[in-house]
Amino acid sequence: MKKILAVDDSASMRQMVGFTLKKAGFEVVEAKDGSEALGIAKQQSFDAVISDVNMPVMDGITLIKELRTLPSYKFTPLLMLTTESGLDKKTEGKAAGATGWIVKPFNPDQLLAVLKKVIR
């Protein structure tokens, strides 16, 4: 089973994403900010990471940047959750090494459709 790390400071979003992914057959681990996520990522291996951008302690872009420095995450799909008004965040994200993005708000089906682009 493929394992995904879901990072968002909003509990309801984490629950929704986690539930959707588990239902689709993925194993899911949740984190509430970039720093917690980074710690978890170093201890376990994931097949993909989905992360919100705006979070306390460590934001999503910094998380992606950090993950890309880890050898085991060089090629891992790292997806950003971003809102429409954050178009420039996408550029920043890509520069940091993000694979792609999912625009908020999204529904569970959209999440899975996007995920299919990089993990099956």
Measured between alpha carbons, how far is 50 from 33 in angstroms, rounded to an integer? 12
Q: Is 22 in the site for another protein (CB under 8 A)?
A: no
Measured between alpha carbons, how far is 55 from 26 in angstroms, rounded to an integer? 24
Measured between alpha carbons, how far is 93 from 100 in angstroms, rounded to an integer? 8
Chain centroid, CA 39 distance in Å: 14
Q: Is 21 in the site for another protein (CB under 8 A)?
A: no
* 1-20 residues near another protein, rule: CB under 8 A: 9-13, 15-16, 19-20
CA distances from 94 to 32, 68, 100, 101 (A): 22, 11, 7, 9
Instruction: State the nearest-atom distance from the C-beta of 8 to another protein, in Å.
Output: 8
Q: Is 77 in the site for another protein (CB under 8 A)?
A: yes
* 24-63 residues near another protein, rule: CB under 8 A: 24, 48, 52, 54-56
Binding site for another protein (CB under 8 A): 9-13, 15-16, 19-20, 23-24, 48, 52, 54-56, 68, 74-78, 81, 83-85, 87, 94, 97-110, 112, 114, 116-120
